[in-house]
A = this chain, B = another copy of it.
Amino acid sequence: MSETKKVNSCTIFKQDCDCFNVLTKEQMQIVEDNQVIVEYEKDEIFARQGAFASHIIVIEEGLAKVTYEDGHNNLVLRISTPGSFIGLSSISDQNRLFGYTAKAYIKTKVKLIDIGIFISLIKENSLFGLELLRVMSEISHQKNARFFGLMHRQSYGKLADLLLCMSVNIFKEKAFILPLTRKQIGELAGMSTESVIRTFKNFQEDKLISIEGKKITILDMEGLVKVFETG
């Protein structure tokens, strides 16, 4: 009853959308004629909060983090994996500014689509707009779940959540190489670097996971789920 779903609350999800499928052949051609593929290196910023959003960005390959900042602190809104959009929410900003910053965790290839063209496609093809509404809605749900987790869970639960999400949603393996530093993991889970380390240590002592450098192996999936649910 109280458990509506077993969804985990991370916002690191693969969001494949059919948006472009609803375009006509001609419209698709317009997109293809006006898109640019760019590759960014690790740690490069390819969308900066407050800057003019001249393009809609679609991640092709790689991994990026999307953060909201204010100079002192920053909050990771989500992780973007191939297929996800960056800058959708700028479509409607009257100034067309990015509402957040996107930075490559690893070498990341993105597709840039001119925002003017993108908007004209929305105006021409209402189904395209509807699909985009679907995407934004999905992002919104994910964000709600993510923030719910960040607010109401404590470190054990948050970190278990993150590991489960990485394993289940991103890598689809029980063992995976996490290309993030402890610090980055910390900001993702909303906790300090030290707490991440200590919690990892406890997880290892409890035989839930094993860690060798950046390689994390989930030894006891059920146990970790239990921590996620109760922590």
Contact = CB atoms under 8 A, between A and B. Distances in A.
Interface of A: 1-4, 49-50, 68, 70-73, 75, 77, 88-93, 99-100, 119, 122-130, 132-141, 143-145, 147-148, 150-152, 190
A151 B75 contact: yes
Nearest to A93: B137
Query: For chain A, what secondary structure do more than half of its interface residues adopt (helix, strand, loop), or is it mixed?
Result: helix
A70 B122 contact: no
Given A89-B141, A137-B91, A70 B126 contact: no
B88 A137 contact: yes
Given A2-B70, A144-B75, A129 B122 contact: yes
Contacts of A88: 133, 137
A226 B138 CA distance: 37
A122 B127 CA distance: 8
B71 A3 contact: yes
Nearest to A130: B122
Contacts of A130: 91-92, 119, 122-123, 129
B143 A143 contact: yes
Given A123-B126, A129-B122, A147-B147, A138 B71 contact: no
Contact of A129 (B90, B129, B151): B129
Contacts of A119: 130
